[in-house]
């Protein structure tokens, strides 16, 4: 017979930790960045490959992730007054290449940015297996993402992808830094395709601490708040699409952004 009382105690403890991580004292930005650096570099967690979207980590969903994202991008891009150029693509947080294998075959150049060299190697291997598109891996430090701007080149990007990444970032402030980087890298006619986790009426407060335990909901936004943040950082939101639930998680919002007309001028 199962020890139901033991299961109940474990659930209660887990719920208590979750509540404390949401309402307890907030860790400093520097501490959360350090925790994120430790998590992604250590590869000690059994779920690490799944969180990094390696094929072995999500074998049943891996190919579908990229196909779904490429199809959704094409659908959302129809709202633009021009067909977007898929010339130089930058993917911020490439992981194990689930998106790269879908987008790179249509690009002139694919630039993968990640904080883990092993993920860049995996992404490159998977991408080269499906196409001959020139591939540039860019390894960055979690604490200094802006270093990527000089290495890639300001204004050199046609499409900036940031998918299944924002919720893993240390904070909303850090997400603002990524928007600034995207604005620097994109040319005047460029497009950013970004996904966030959104808060709805049933959601509780976001987690404030213990990155490794809460990484999949570390940074979430109300949809209208992210829209306003994007505007404040030099973008025009063109369209948003909601995916309340899929095989990986829930509360996904996909937003297509273009550089603001004022910045283009």
User: 22-60: per-residue pLDDT in tens?
Assistant: 555 566 888 889 989 998 988 877 789 999 999 999 999
Output the six-digit token pair for 66: 């990229």
**Residue 85 pLDDT grade (very low, low, confident, very high; cuts 50, 70, 90):** confident
Output the six-digit token pair for 126: 């998977």
**Residue 120 pLDDT grade (very low, low, confident, very high; cuts 50, 70, 90):** very high
* Res 202 pLDDT > 70: no
The whole-number pLDDT of residue 250 equals 86
Distance set, CA 90 to CA 43, 46, 113, 148, 199 (Å)? 24, 28, 7, 11, 27
Overall number of domains in the chain: 1
3-class secondary structure, 251: strand
Packed helices 29-42 and 172-185: angle between N→C axes, nearest 10 degrees: 70
Answer yes or no: are the C-beta atoms of 102 and 127 closer than 8 Å: no
The model's pTM is 0.87
CATH code (residue 118): 3.40.50.150
Output the six-digit token pair for 184: 């620097």
Determine the Cα angle at 181 with ends 114 and 144, to 5°.
55
Query: Tens digits of per-residue pLDDT, 214-254?
Result: 677 788 899 999 999 999 999 999 999 999 888 888 889 99
Q: What's the domain range around 146?
A: 4-264
* Res 13 pLDDT > 60: no
Least confident span in 102-111, 203-212, 236-245 = 203-212
Between CA 43 and CA 248 the distance in angstroms is: 20
């Amino acid at each position: 017979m199962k020890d139901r009382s033991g299961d109940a105690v474990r659930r209660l403890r887990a719920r208590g930790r979750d509540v404390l991580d949401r309402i307890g004292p907030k860790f400093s930005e520097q501490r959360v960045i350090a925790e994120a650096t430790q998590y992604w570099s250590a590869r000690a967690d059994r779920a690490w490959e799944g969180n990094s979207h390696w094929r072995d980590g999500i074998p049943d969903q891996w190919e579908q992730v990229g196909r779904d994202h490429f199809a959704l991008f094409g659908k959302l891009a129809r709202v633009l007054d021009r067909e977007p150029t898929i010339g130089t693509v930058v993917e911020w947080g490439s992981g194990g290449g689930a998106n790269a294998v879908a987008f790179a075959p249509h690009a002139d150049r694919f630039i993968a940015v990640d904080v883990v060299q092993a993920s860049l190697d995996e992404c490159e291997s998977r991408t080269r297996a499906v196409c001959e598109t020139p591939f540039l891996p860019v390894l960055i430090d979690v604490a200094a993402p802006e270093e990527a701007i000089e290495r890639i080149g300001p204004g050199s990007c046609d499409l900036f992808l940031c998918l299944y990444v924002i919720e893993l970032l240390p904070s909303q402030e850090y997400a603002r830094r990524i928007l600034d980087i995207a604005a620097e890298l994109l040319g005047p006619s460029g497009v950013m395709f970004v996904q966030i986790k959104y808060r709805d009426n049933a959601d509780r407060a976001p987690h404030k601490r213990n990155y490794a335990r809460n990484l999949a909901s570390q940074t979430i936004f109300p949809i209208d708040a992210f829209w306003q943040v994007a505007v404040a950082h030099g973008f025009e939101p063109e369209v948003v699409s909601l995916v309340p639930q899929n095989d990986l998680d829930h509360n996904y919002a996909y937003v297509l952004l273009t550089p603001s007309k004022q910045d283009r001028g």
